[in-house]
């Protein structure tokens, strides 16, 4: 029975881990702008530390976890494979979330596409109401986590959600992520101290609506 369970786990993780000799390691993505480009909303210092230190740590840890997971599965060690799931979720989520976050921001982010603007009006009334609601729920996150605007493929509508720690939105809620706000303290403390509301309300000034609109268009195609 143990061997059967191990084979089942192997099938589940194969798309993630692959063969050690073939699988490409995750890498830290380059930013589509310079660290200082988002000032004064987010300082050069915060951007550099956030990207080079924090995101890089998630990437490195994720690669290490996947190697251990592959080894455990290859040896049929179901207990070890299960014990690694928390670290896989945390570091994998950290990598996924930050990879979205960087592209969600821009110095000149434009406006929502006509299609996205229409759905925002239908689901929230107007953009200002969406921003107010997402800001409020994100500010209220206890401890560390994220606030999200997501697309629900089943209901074909926009929804707001919050996730604790580095829990990835789609894996935990089924919503496809469009725009995320990181409220881990490392994302803002050096500049905004403990005044999270100031950071969350300011981030709308650098929201990359072109990127959000592109994500929305792709999400609709996944229906």
pLDDT of residue 23: 65
Q: Which residues define the annotated binding site?
A: 50, 98, 182, 186
Q: What is the 3-state secondary structure (H, E, C) of the chain?
A: CHHHHHHHHHHHHHHHHCCCCCCCCCCCCCCCCCHHHHCCCCCHHHHHHHHHHHHHHHHHHHHHHHHHHHHHHHCCCHHHHHHCHHHHHHHHHHHHHHHHHHHCECCCCCCCCHHHHHHHHHHHCCHHHHHHHHHHHHHCCCCCEEEEEEEECCCCEEEEEEEECCCCHHHHHCCEEEEEEECCHHHCHHHHCCCHHHHHHHHHHHECHHHHHHHHHHHHHCC
Confidence (pLDDT) at 223? 62
- Residues at the annotated binding site for Mn(2+)? 50, 98, 182, 186
pLDDT at 24: 86
pLDDT at site 118? 98
Architecture per CATH, domain 114-221, reads as: 3-Layer(bab) Sandwich (3.55)
Domain boundaries of the chain, sorted by first residue: 44-104, 114-221
Quote the pLDDT of residue 12.
37
Residuewise pLDDT in 10s, the chain (223 residues): 333 333 333 333 444 444 444 568 999 999 999 999 999 999 999 999 999 999 999 999 999 999 999 999 999 999 999 999 999 999 999 999 999 999 999 999 999 999 999 999 999 999 999 999 999 999 999 999 999 999 999 999 999 999 999 999 999 999 999 999 999 999 999 999 999 999 999 999 999 999 999 999 999 988 6
pLDDT for position 203? 98
Q: How many CB atoms lie within 10 A of CB 35?
A: 18
Asked if CATH classification 1.10.510.10 holds for the domain at 44-104, the reply, yes or no, is: no
**What is the pLDDT, as a whole number, of residue 179?**
98
Q: What is the structure's pLDDT at 222?
A: 83
Q: What is the pLDDT of residue 22?
A: 52
Q: What is the Cα gyration radius of the chain?
A: 19
| pLDDT at res. 4 | 36
Nearest Cα neighbor of 161 from 129, 192, 138 is: 138
Give pTM, 2 decimals: 0.88
Report the distance separating Cα 111 and Cα 210, nearest Å.
7
């Amino acid at each position: 029975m143990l061997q059967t369970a191990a084979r089942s786990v192997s099938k589940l993780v194969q798309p993630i881990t692959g063969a050690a000799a073939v699988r490409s390691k995750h890498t830290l993505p380059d930013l589509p702008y310079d660290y200082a480009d988002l000032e004064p909303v987010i300082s050069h210092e915060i951007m550099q530390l956030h990207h080079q230190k924090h995101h890089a740590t998630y990437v490195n840890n994720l690669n290490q976890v996947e190697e251990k997971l592959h080894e455990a599965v290859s040896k049929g060690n179901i207990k070890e494979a299960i014990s690694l799931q928390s670290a896989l979720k945390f570091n994998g989520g950290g990598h996924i979330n930050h990879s979205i976050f960087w592209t969600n921001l821009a110095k000149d982010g434009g406006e929502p596409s006509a299609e996205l603007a229409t759905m925002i009006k239908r689901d929230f009334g107007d953009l200002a109401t969406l921003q107010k609601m997402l800001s409020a729920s994100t500010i209220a996150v206890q401890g560390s986590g994220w606030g999200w605007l997501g697309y629900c493929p089943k209901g074909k509508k926009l929804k707001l959600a919050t996730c604790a720690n580095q829990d990835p939105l789609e894996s935990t809620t089924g919503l496809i992520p469009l725009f995320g706000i990181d409220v881990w303290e490392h994302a803002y403390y050096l500049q905004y101290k403990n005044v999270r509301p100031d950071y969350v309300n300011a981030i709308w000034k650098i929201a990359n609506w072109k990127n959000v609109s592109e994500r929305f268009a792709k999400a609709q195609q996944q229906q």
